[in-house]
A and B are shown apart, each in its own frame.
Chain A
Amino acid sequence: MNFFLQLVVTGFSLGMIYALVAIGFVIILKCSDAFNIAQGHFVLIGGYLGYTFLVPFHLPIWAALILAIGVAALLGLVIERLALRPLVGQPELAIVMMTIALSTVLEGLVTLIWGGEYKTYHGVLPTFTLAFGGISIPPESLIGLLVSIVAVSALMFVFRYTRIGLAMRATADDLKVVQSLGIRATTVYSVSWVIASIVGVIGGILLGGISGVMIPLAEIGLKAFAVVLLGGINSFGGAILAGIIVGILENVAAGYLDPLVPGGGFAQIFPFVVMVVVLIFRPYGLFGTARIERI
């Protein structure tokens, strides 16, 4: 039983980070109908930024977070303005290909700047372990959990009470109405990319603290897609809940199934299996709205 609970707890804190990354994806999708395949690369960049600010620069974690958020905001702004703005109104495939191409360019830049080597800042974050019963929570996971909760609540506050947050929700709902009310859709697009890249980068810093940073960290983006599909492609709450579900399921599956499957590694494709099952049986996810199409 302890083994099971331990898996659930670790999975939960991992799931919060997935949820954070998935929220970035949902924000862009809701506001501008663009599928951001490069979301995982924001995470990758976040991990390396965290390494750079914490290890060679020796900054305290709060300063590193603030600086990384600044870089992320700039990155999101530039990407939206240069790459995505010219494609407004283009077919879906063009936008998807654009974000895929962006992801390779970002990966190329990361390789150029950081050399694509394995970096870790394991001991840099404060060390303390919470243990109750026989279950221990590693410090990185705990920090991850705390930051994720803070970030998610901050986002919820923005979306509920601020002007731009309301504008973003309105844009997601009906672009034409928003434009006729005098809200600039382009501002909303920019802000959505900035927020997405910030949450991606925060997720990257947290994940980097848990497992170290390397190019394959970008694959976390693919897991976030599984989360998004499970939660419903246009639902924030769904993304959070599905993030936790996928995190826990993945950990539990790895804990129990890996000894059974020859060669192991089932946890890696587990999110994809979830994805295919969801797509076949409930394509709009747990909380998404079913799309009704008319000619």
Chain B
Amino acid sequence: MAIFRTRSQWGGLLAFLVLLAVCPLFLSERVLTILTMIGIAIISVHGLNILTGYCGQISIGHVGFMAVGAYASAILTARLGWPFWVALPCAALAAGVAGLIFGLPSLKIRGFYLIMATVAAHFIIIWLVLHLSNLTGGPDGMPVPKPQIGSFVFNSKASYYYLVMGVGCIATYGAVNITRTRAGRAFVAIRDNDLAAEVMGINLFSHKLQAFFIGCVYAGVAGALLVHYYGFASVDQFAFIDSVWFLGMLIVGGMGSISGAILGAVSLKLLDELVTMIGPVLSALVAAQAAASLALITRGLVIILFLIFEPRGLEHRWEILKGYFRLWPFSHEEAE
């Protein structure tokens, strides 16, 4: 089935892309920064969505794999002087290979065991980063050059915005199409019932590893974009709790749906911005620690409320809304 069935959907897509392309012209740098961060989050969540949402392999070590990509790219560009355009695919590959290694137990184990294996992956990766200080700078972090083409350097907010959105569009296009291939369909079969999938002739081991590889490649790209944006790489950018937020984005948006991943990333990032705006006010009014606790409590509560009241996420709400307006003003479809 085609991705877009009608001309108006194509029109909508084109209009959206044009909007993405022109909005740096009239948006402030602060808004552009937020949009860039959202773009990076979307790329990362696409990977987690393929791994967790489509293939059903729950990973709470996603940020660890982002760190692999980030440090691979940082080391290749800063220490070896490779251009960003070569380092980025290599970083993606490195993260993918790390994903393969930690995905190896996934054939034998599932559910909680796999979750724990990915948690272990995160802490082992971060420990390695801290202890390979010759390469990574250890706890001090390392400077990372900005990407450049010829003499043009991506150091303004707007130029980096274009870079992230460009990669983001390619990533989304890739994610949409991966889920339509044979492998993508196999992922869904494995998620729904892996034994049944195996009986149908799907090679579980190979497909689970493929899902890990693809998911971690996305994470690696996102991680590399993140450190090149800051011009600096340090382990503080890859906190364990962020993996939880990525899963939260999937839940809020809707698992196993590309638009759900995007919706989730956008809405949770915007919520974060709201919290950072309200936080200082609350801190001044209540207590110094109110801002930090507000951030934790709101994020946790959002996930809890979605799990209880709308476990299928915003994407599902959106479908309901669309369905409503398709039939409006007649609320029931005529039986054929």
Chain B residues packing against A (C-beta within 8 Å): 52, 58, 60, 104-105, 108-109, 111-113, 115-117, 119-121, 123-124, 127, 130-131, 133, 138, 193, 195-196, 199, 241, 244, 247-248, 251, 255, 287-290, 292-297, 299-301, 303-304, 307-308, 311
Contact = CB atoms under 8 A, between A and B. Distances in A.
20 contacts: A83-B304, A96-B112, A97-B251, A100-B303, A101-B244, A101-B301, A101-B304, A108-B296, A108-B297, A111-B296, A116-B292, A229-B113, A263-B130, A265-B127, A269-B123, A276-B121, A279-B109, A279-B116, A280-B108, A295-B193
Contacts of B307: 87, 90, 94, 97-98, 101
Contacts of A233: 112-113
Contacts, number: 137
Interface of A: 35, 83, 86-87, 90, 92-94, 96-98, 100-105, 107-109, 111-112, 115-116, 222, 225-226, 229, 233, 261-263, 265, 268-269, 272-273, 275-276, 279-280, 283, 293-295
Most chain B beta-carbon contacts within 10 A, residue among A116, A226, A262, A279: A279
The majority secondary structure among interface residues of chain B is helix
A104 B193 contact: no
Contact of B131 (A105, A109, A261, A293): A261
Contact of A109 (B60, B244, B297, B311): B297
A222 B119 contact: yes
A109 to B, nearest CB: 7
A111 B116 CA distance: 26
A225 B112 CA distance: 10
B64 to A, nearest CB: 11
B293 to A, nearest CB: 4
Nearest to B199: A295
Contact of A283 (B108, B244, B295, B297): B108
A262 B131 CA distance: 7
Given A272-B120, A279-B105, A279-B113, A105 B130 contact: no
Nearest to B121: A276
Given A101-B303, A279-B117, A269 B296 contact: no
A104 B311 contact: no
A263 B133 contact: yes
B281 to A, nearest CB: 15
